[in-house]
């Protein structure tokens, strides 16, 4: 999962290898989703977050994901994610991932909002200028998300009602 990459990449902690990924509680997930509704690109941001926690995609996989990998022959969001070798880890890492209903719903919303820019070879995760994001930019997106919430993933919920995460829950 991306949360493992998040800890490893941002903290440069080489002792993380072999440790279990930090998991978000359902309350933390809801709070983050509420926060993402307030961002500049809420549909895109929800897709990035859900691809990480519900599909287990890595930053490189998210950055390389095209609409052809998540849609069927008619252009409708399919029930699986078909990662090609170029989008996954390693030389023969292509894989098919069952699509979680939340990811499906978020992708349909994103596709509907993007209409003509959701062509088969276009990136699912887009920048402000319309191109795709690099893996480093996806990692930075997660760093900024967790920084804006005030803490690292396993400590997102604090006892303070003034923390951004608690405000998102209360709204």
Domain ranges of the chain: 2-170
pLDDT at 42: 95
3-class SS at 158?
Answer: coil
5, 139 contact by CB (below 8 A): yes
For residue 49, with 0-12 CB atoms within 10 Å meaning exposed, 13-18 middle and 19 or more buried, which class applies? buried
User: For 100-143, what is each residue's pLDDT tens digit?
Assistant: 999 999 999 999 988 766 778 889 998 888 788 999 999 999 99
Domain 2-170 architecture: Orthogonal Bundle (1.10)
Average pLDDT, whole number, for the chain? 77
With a cut of 70, which residues of the chain have pLDDT below it?
1-21, 88-93, 116-117, 151-171
pTM of this prediction?
Answer: 0.74
């Amino acid at each position: 999962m991306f949360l493992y990459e998040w800890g490893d990449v941002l903290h440069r902690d080489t002792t993380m290898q072999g440790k279990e990924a930090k998991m978000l509680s359902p309350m933390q997930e809801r709070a983050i989703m509420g926060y993402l509704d307030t961002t500049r690109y809420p549909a895109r941001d929800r897709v990035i977050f859900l691809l990480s926690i519900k599909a287990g995609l890595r930053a490189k996989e998210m950055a390389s994901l095209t609409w052809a990998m998540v849609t069927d022959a008619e252009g409708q969001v399919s029930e699986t994610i078909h990662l090609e070798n170029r989008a996954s880890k390693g030389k023969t890492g292509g894989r098919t991932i069952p699509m979680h209903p939340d990811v499906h719903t978020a992708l349909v919303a994103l596709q509907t909002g993007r209409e003509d820019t959701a062509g088969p070879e276009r990136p699912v995760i887009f920048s402000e200028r319309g191109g795709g994001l690099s893996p480093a930019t996806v990692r930075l997106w997660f760093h900024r998300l967790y920084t804006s919430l005030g803490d690292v993933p396993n400590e997102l919920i604090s006892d303070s009602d003034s923390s951004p995460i608690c405000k998102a829950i209360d709204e």
